[in-house]
Structure 1
């Protein structure tokens, strides 16, 4: 594999109809449309000499998918790829039901994963933002080529809890200190007292996290 792949079946999914035009404007990245059996996106990762080619595999989900048997089946198939390593879920936040409904669906999905599937969720606030956010995550794990396990999904999700992702590593470290998990972050960001606490510790990054 020489470049990123996108599954052609996405053309038939209403929530993602604007994705292919966005990929054509991908800042010099050439995406190839193909058939992928267990996932929607495949992007090669750096591999050490003599080691098998690593590939970041991801599925694209939206709030309307959450809670359906088909969604859970897709997550299970994804988790079996490469022993559950180098996999991710891209989740579309902006939907017709509004940001609150989409965020609630994201939290439901995160709770469904806890304890069974150890994989990160990359939230995107629009279809057009998917390529940028996914490639930012790709760069993040490419710098740790010797460590294929994704680590704690909630911590990997935190950098993207911003309207201008990713948050700085310093901001992520602070958030993990003042909030126990993603649900705690939402609770903190939704109250005046919590927002003041975030502003005190995060400074300029606080508004990006609160807006998200």
Structure 2
């Protein structure tokens, strides 16, 4: 499929016939909101209906140097981010046109002379925009890696698409690895990992960040299991029975780190709370 808006883009409009004719790629024009070209890589029969359905598509985004100027760079990066979110960068590619075709229409002899003398500068400007795009994407950790295919001239676009699509068709699709979430990492911050998911939820509610949690945990030291209630009182993590024996209230100092850890103990139990404290105390000691 070919995005219909390519006909309205000066940088790519002239290549549309070569992409839609039977001698080219025979792409059918359609409205594509997230990419410019989609090429089927394989088909398989649906076991339920017996009808052949496309199982894999290779999607392309077409860019030119004008897309990287000061007025459009932000929009272009947002579009690339949306493009990458389609599949997590799998079976995606960006085609970057290094030297856009000259503007069509009437041109004076002086204008043609200037174009000829500036052709080398136009080529260098395209390469500069190409490297600028790579640098901009390196600063965007929210955009996964997408291959950028340099295109020297617009007339070679069909051949480039054929070669890249053919090479991708021979390679199996890569499994998309899910990046770890912050909650997944938090569940490892215990002496007996992984901590129960509910405990991680409660921790994230009590402490706005790991820094606050680490500060609260490293300010105390966990007491041995055989300690007396008086010794356990020094840890700030008394059990409900111990606090009753000592005549202390479990509602004291809830505003600070001690209070939050006591609240955690009341909600998930003393052992899970001490496991969290021990983890951060040992990490701090090793550091």
Give the shorter-chain TM-score range.
0.5 to 0.7
Instruction: Tell me what 1:16 maps to.
Output: 12
CA distance in 2, matches of 1:19, 1:28: 10
Residue 86 of structure 1 contacts residue 148 of structure 1 at CA under 8 Å; is this kept in 2? no
Instruction: Please state how far the C-alpha of 1:49 moved relative to its aligned partner.
Output: 7.4
Instruction: Please state how far the C-alpha of 1:73 moved relative to its aligned partner.
Output: 1.4
Residue 59 of structure 1 contacts residue 88 of structure 1 at CA under 8 Å; is this kept in 2? yes
Residue 47 of structure 1 contacts residue 145 of structure 1 at CA under 8 Å; is this kept in 2? no
Provide TM-score, normalisation by structure 1: 0.61
> CA 1:133–1:52 in 2, change beyond 3 Å: closer, same or farther?
closer
Instruction: Tell me what 2:285 maps to.
Output: none
Instruction: Please state how far the C-alpha of 1:27 moved relative to its aligned partner.
Output: 3.6
CA distance in 2, matches of 1:63, 1:28: 25
Residue 26 of structure 1 contacts residue 131 of structure 1 at CA under 8 Å; is this kept in 2? no
CA distance in 1, matches of 2:26, 2:86: 24
Question: In angstroms, what is the RMSD of aligned CA positions?
Answer: 2.4
Larger Rg: 2
> CA 1:28–1:63 in 2, change beyond 3 Å: closer, same or farther?
closer
What count of residue pairs does the alignment treat as equivalent?
145
Residue 58 of structure 1 contacts residue 78 of structure 1 at CA under 8 Å; is this kept in 2? no
CA distance in 2, matches of 1:89, 1:29: 18
> CA 1:25–1:88 in 2, change beyond 3 Å: closer, same or farther?
same
CA distance in 2, matches of 1:124, 1:148: 28
Residue from 82, 85, 89 that aligns with 2:90: 85
What residue ranges of structure 1 are gaps of 5+ in the alignment?
150-212
Instruction: Tell me what 2:123 maps to.
Output: 99
> CA 1:54–1:133 in 2, change beyond 3 Å: closer, same or farther?
same
CA distance in 1, matches of 2:18, 2:123: 21
CA distance in 2, matches of 1:62, 1:78: 16
CA distance in 2, matches of 1:148, 1:134: 23
Residue from 37, 40, 56 that aligns with 2:36: 40
Residue from 55, 58, 61 that aligns with 1:56: 58
Question: What's the secondary structure of 2:146's corresponding residue?
Answer: coil
> CA 1:148–1:12 in 2, change beyond 3 Å: closer, same or farther?
farther
CA distance in 2, matches of 1:36, 1:24: 15
Residue 39 of structure 1 contacts residue 59 of structure 1 at CA under 8 Å; is this kept in 2? yes
Instruction: Please state how far the C-alpha of 1:33 moved relative to its aligned partner.
Output: 0.5
CA distance in 1, matches of 2:10, 2:41: 29
Instruction: Tell me what 1:75 maps to.
Output: 80
